[in-house]
A and B are shown apart, each in its own frame.
Chain A
Amino acid sequence: MRKKPYGCLTLPGLAAGLLTVLVVSLTGILRGGTLFSPGSLNAQAGTLLGGVTSHAEIGGRCSACHSFFWQSSRMADRCVTCHMDVASQLNDPTSLHGVQYQENSNLTCRICHPDHRGLSASLTDMSMVHINHETFGYSLNAHQQQVDGTPFACKTCHVAGYTAFDQIICFTCHQQINPDFMFSHQQAYGQDCLACHDGIDTYGSDFDHDTTAFQLVGKHNQLACVDCHPTARSIADLKATPQDCYSCHAGDDAHQGEFGAGCATCHTPDGWLPASFDHALTRFPLTGAHTQIECTQCHNTLTFAGLSLVCSSCHTDPAIHAGLFAGMTCDQCHSTSAWAPASFNLNHPAQCDDENCINHEEASCRDCHPDSLSTATCLKCHSSNNPDDDHGDDD
């Protein structure tokens, strides 16, 4: 006789199936949907929302968050039923949620905020979301790797949550790179790093001041930022820094304002000296030996405007003149090229009428008056001071 193989639809089998369905149903009735939960809901207590302080308190009420596919509402709709502050942020383009939602309206809450991952698991995981950090006014372009070479994570900077940032983090990390600079920089500009720094080094270490309207040349290139921007506390402050010389150099103006604020007329950023003042523009153009001397030889009191143009204001009457030229001016005999030769154009008190004395026209004052114009000697050329002596002894 051919025996029939055993089948599955035995009475005990059917009873077991029914019992299983019954147990599952009873459990569902008594304990809600916990039987279908893939993991514990987050139990970290927060603000009281929807009558609970944590998702775990919702327990097996799956429908509090989950909507069935035949229902019109979605899970995100149920999230904002409790999280009403987030609902308002979604329409605020300055908020984290608003920016993300407007960039990608397909984003749902659960993409960044998964649950059923354990009682103490984080409710935020943005690893699946691309964050355009520049949207928030700070690029991560210069923050790819930390000092030790490890890549940045969100929590590296956002220790207290993704929407919070304490700028002390900036100092904590950057002092590891250059502690002296960071200390002095913070002393000078305070702790509001983001007021000037946007993460792409617009005003960071790679900042090129030459891209601005005020190029740093000469000694300006050796200055620290704070030397010219001591009170700046924002990019707007930096940009508003006056560019005229006098705004910074009024305190060290050697001319005490005599020449106004146009320092660049005479000076360059290479230094105060040498100054390239064009004296020809004044009432006293420099000629001859006057062009070879230092400014301070005439302007020895550092007074530059209103000086007397009279020679005697600088040059005293020399002893050799013996006071013979009182009432005269130097330029009647001298030029600015040199004191000698002088061109004495007045009548010489001792004219030689002898027709043979023509050589005296070649003599200089000092040939006959080596010490003083009040005395004379012929001995430089003649053997005697007596004019009646034979001139045959002349050289």
Chain B
Amino acid sequence: MVLLHTSWKFNGLAGVTTLFTMIIVISGFIGRYIYTRIPRTLDGIEVTNITGQAQAAVLVRSRQMLAIWHAIHIPIGITLFSAAIIHIGAALIYATLLR
């Protein structure tokens, strides 16, 4: 939908916003697979009573990966939201409310 909204024009802030949208979507797919490697309850709470050394090692590694992903994904997301809000404001001023 975002791509259709661009009318295949990627210049200016709108183009930057589109670029970050695509990055955040890809990042989200990656994060989704890291996230599912950590056992959780139905409420999304991590399960702590892991038994077995091998399982414990996987869990530690997954937590580390998720932390790294989170540190990258969140700034990109905030950047996207910031750019999108500015883009929407500019569109309101220069297009929607244009007289």
Q: List the interface of chain A (C-beta within 8 A of B).
A: 1-3, 5-6, 8, 10, 12-17, 19-21, 24, 33-40, 62, 66-69, 74-75
Contact = CB atoms under 8 A, between A and B. Distances in A.
A13 B78 contact: yes
Given A16-B79, A20-B83, A67-B99, A5 B44 contact: yes
B13 A8 contact: no
A12 B75 contact: yes
Interface of B: 9, 11-14, 44-46, 48, 70-71, 74-79, 81-83, 86-87, 90, 93-95, 97-99
A6 B70 contact: yes
B48 A37 contact: no
A36 B78 contact: no
Nearest to B81: A17
Given A6-B70, A8-B77, A68-B93, A39 B9 contact: yes
Given A62-B94, A68-B93, A16 B12 contact: no
Contact of B13 (A2, A24, A39, A62): A24
B30 to A, nearest CB: 15
A35 B94 CA distance: 12
A12 B71 contact: yes
A17 B93 CA distance: 22
B97 A20 contact: no
Contacts of A21: 82, 86
Contacts of A34: 12
Contacts of B83: 20, 24
Given A38-B12, A69-B93, A75-B98, A13 B74 contact: yes
Given A2-B45, A37-B11, A38-B14, A15 B70 contact: no
A298 B74 CA distance: 122
Contacts of B70: 6, 10
B82 A17 contact: yes
